[in-house]
Structure 1
Amino acid sequence: MNATKRAEIFRRLREINPNPTTELEYTTPFELLVAVTLSAQATDIGVNKATRKLFPVANTPQAILALGEDGLKRYISTIGLYNAKAKNVMAACRILVDRYDGEVPTTREALEALPGVGRKTANVVLNTAFGQPTIAVDTHIFRVSNRTGLAPGKTVRAVEDKLEKTIPAEFKQDAHHWLILHGRYVCKARKPDCPSCVIRDLCQYRQKTPAAD
């Protein structure tokens, strides 16, 4: 895929959704950090249901520490892997209070040093909360990048590096949101909705699904 096609893909995605953002509900960088941490191997819908109850009660590191691990688990027990996630969130909150006065740090290195925070989570927080043009590659972006030919790669990091290198600067801030939403609602894993896809003529996927009769 050449640079002209890549730019046209993002131009069309921007045209249908000029201001994309995460579907996780949050109002502060800390709420986003917690929500993204909870979202690993879980749906945004499931996380939002839990945080709608949690955040009105505790939406700062200090407040979650006051809840205690068992108290936190009661709010997030409907989310997969909640025991491990509760432990990580508590440990991250302790670091945020002790080292950063309860504020979320704005560097990748500091974020990735927090328990439960990997490169993808750090990229989401840096991009969505702090406006940095990072690319957070999840399963949707990995699939779309490989299926379309936009940025093929055998690993998540390989796809991220290729997207970082090839996405035009004007699209980079919002690129991963466009790709996530495209993968979630159009370029779905089992049966992509190719007939309604705005980039179908630019996509290199050979097994495009046909239009219904």
Structure 2
Amino acid sequence: MPDGVRQLRQYTLPGHGADGLRRITAKRVGDGEVSSLLHATVKEGDELTLSAPFGDVALDGGEAPLVLVSAGIGCTPITAMLEHLALTGDTRRVLVLHADRPPAAHALRADMERLADALPGGERIFWYEEGHPRTGRMSLDGVDIPAGAVVYMCGPVPFMRAARGELIAAVVAPLDLHYEVFGPDLWLGAARRRRDLKAAWPAFSY
């Protein structure tokens, strides 16, 4: 930062170019200290120092159909998965479901369309709050969820909670639902959080 303070932030690597350069996607938040600085000062050709990648969700191999579910900036890891699937010529059925505000606010929209359309078994459905035939919140009514599908989700916790309920109702096994939360995982139950804390710091009482 300009005052010399180092600020750690996590951003998704949504893909890379043919030249091997990685890219990050940073949503500009009105009062966001780091996102505002990136948008205001970083220019093409600048070099950024990154840590090794890490996260809770990674796309597994296999032959099961995939359902990729996202809302808002949660599309970034989904786009990375789509790029991997397209580059490896994956032939599984891949259903891409995304919800956003107006279409103009949909980050990486062109990439998601291009990559999903490049997959032999790819299909995409987008919902927008306005300005699109599918207006309103994401609803799985009438959406054909593949049998035996493995699901990856990313987006606001209330959105993922609602999507998870609909997916389970569509006979997706809970163990086949994987998700990534941007920020503290407030979705975890209190018991799970206590268990994780005890594993990390066993000398303390909870």
Higher helix share: 1
Of structures 1 and 2, the one scoring higher in RCO (CA 8 A, sep 6+) is 1
Same fold per superposition (TM over 0.5)? no
TM-score with structure 2 setting the length? 0.27
